[in-house]
């Protein structure tokens, strides 16, 4: 029994690393898929399937759909939907690696927005991380003296994710986390169906796109939620947050390994600066007055 308990933290770490690999691979898998299927349609299928899976696994979740939960989940779902739209546009217009790096900026943006919106105390290292992230963004985005404006979609995605996390931290206490997640998934799905409707609903055109839909719905959404929830119950949120920053690293590595892209020197340098910024912000501190970081399983 003692040995089993001792193994749990290690198993939790392994589970989280697997989740980050899956999330990193999702950028790579989605990139060619959304070139063949409109992204609204792709995301509509993804989130509908993910939501239905989570209901099928735990149908009793429906009894937790209270008016208070539904209202808050609606607002959070709208933010989440906007986040995924901007992220997918960024993926269309840039690369999987750059989209991953830019999405990771939410780690730095979250405490800053908490300070701006709720005047929550901000740590000095957050400012250090912010400067590093800003420099990294500039290195990635500035080419030939001109800023690549297409990458602002990725920045917008990070800011929207950060707003979502800040509000989730304020609104989720007292609510059933599983139910809150399911409703958000269904709200995102509804947004995507509305976006897909004007041009007519287009199903995935071939097996490759269906694979991408199922990969992102089953593994990157439903499976990842279950794995992260299991792991977070067995280790500190601060350690979880640090491990999850590996997502952007795996996004870049997998993109290179499968031959989808070749990283330029400036992308590598800028990406490393962003990753370092994420670690600076999320690394556990012994200070007793610092709140545990909020780890949101929906932001991927």
Please answer whether residues 246 and 17 qualify as being in contact, where contact means their C-beta atoms are separated by less than 8 angstroms. Answer: yes
| Residues in the chain, overall count | 300
Q: Give the three-class secondary structure for 242.
A: helix
The answer for residues whose C-beta is within 8 angstroms of residue 12's C-beta and 6 or more apart is 230, 231, 234, 235
Task: Indicate whether 297 belongs to any domain.
Answer: no
CA dist., res. 83 & res. 300, Å (int): 10
> In this predicted structure, what is the pLDDT of residue 51?
96
Residue 199, classified by CB atoms within 10 Å of its CB into exposed (0-12), middle (13-18) or buried (19+), is exposed
Task: Indicate whether 172 belongs to any domain.
Answer: yes
Task: Indicate whether 299 belongs to any domain.
Answer: no
CA dist., res. 294 & res. 129, Å (int): 17
Task: Indicate whether 142 belongs to any domain.
Answer: yes
Task: Indicate whether 238 belongs to any domain.
Answer: yes
Residue 262, classified by CB atoms within 10 Å of its CB into exposed (0-12), middle (13-18) or buried (19+), is exposed
CA dist., res. 52 & res. 68, Å (int): 22
The DSSP 8-state label assigned to residue 149 in this structure reads G
pTM confidence score:
0.88
Residue 35, classified by CB atoms within 10 Å of its CB into exposed (0-12), middle (13-18) or buried (19+), is exposed
> In this predicted structure, what is the pLDDT of residue 282?
80
Residue 198, classified by CB atoms within 10 Å of its CB into exposed (0-12), middle (13-18) or buried (19+), is exposed
> In this predicted structure, what is the pLDDT of residue 150?
80
Residue bearing tokens 């269906």: 210
Token duo for residue 105: 């900026």
pLDDT averaged per 10 residues, the chain (length 300):
58 89 94 95 97 96 96 96 95 90 88 86 84 86 71 92 90 91 96 95 96 96 89 77 84 90 86 89 65 60
Q: Give the three-class secondary structure for 293.
A: coil
Domain count, the chain: 1
Task: Indicate whether 296 belongs to any domain.
Answer: no
Maximum Cα interatomic distance, the chain, rounded to a whole number of Å: 61
Task: Indicate whether 42 belongs to any domain.
Answer: yes
Question: What is the domain extent for residue 55?
Answer: 2-282
Task: Indicate whether 11 belongs to any domain.
Answer: yes
């Amino acid at each position: 029994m003692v040995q089993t308990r001792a193994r749990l933290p290690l198993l939790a770490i392994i589970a989280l690393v697997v989740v980050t690999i899956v999330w990193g691979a999702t950028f790579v898998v989605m990139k060619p898929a959304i070139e063949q299927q409109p992204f609204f349609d792709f995301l509509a299928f993804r989130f509908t399937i993910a939501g239905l899976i989570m209901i099928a696994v735990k149908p009793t979740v429906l009894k937790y759909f209270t008016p208070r939960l539904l209202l808050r989940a609606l607002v959070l779902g709208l933010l989440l939907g906007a986040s995924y739209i901007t992220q997918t546009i960024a993926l269309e217009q840039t690369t999987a690696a750059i989209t991953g790096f830019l999405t990771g900026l939410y780690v730095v943006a979250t405490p800053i927005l908490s300070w701006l919106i709720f005047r929550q105390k901000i740590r000095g290292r957050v400012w250090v991380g912010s400067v590093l992230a800003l420099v990294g963004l500039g290195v990635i985005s500035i080419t030939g003296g001109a800023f690549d404006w297409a990458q602002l979609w990725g920045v917008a995605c990070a800011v929207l994710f950060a707003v979502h996390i800040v509000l989730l931290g304020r609104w989720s206490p007292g609510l059933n986390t599983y139910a809150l997640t399911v409703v958000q998934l269904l709200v995102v799905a509804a947004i995507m169906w509305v976006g897909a409707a004007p041009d007519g609903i287009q199903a995935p055109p071939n097996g490759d796109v269906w694979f991408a839909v199922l990969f992102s719905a089953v593994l990157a959404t439903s499976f990842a939620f279950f794995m992260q929830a299991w792991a977070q119950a067995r280790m500190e949120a601060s350690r979880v947050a640090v491990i999850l920053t590996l997502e952007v690293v795996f996004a870049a590595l997998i993109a290179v390994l499968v031959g989808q892209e070749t990283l330029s020197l400036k992308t590598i340098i800028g990406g490393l600066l962003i990753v370092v910024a994420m670690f600076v912000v999320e690394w556990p501190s012994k200070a007793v007055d610092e709140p545990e970081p909020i780890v949101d399983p929906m932001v991927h």
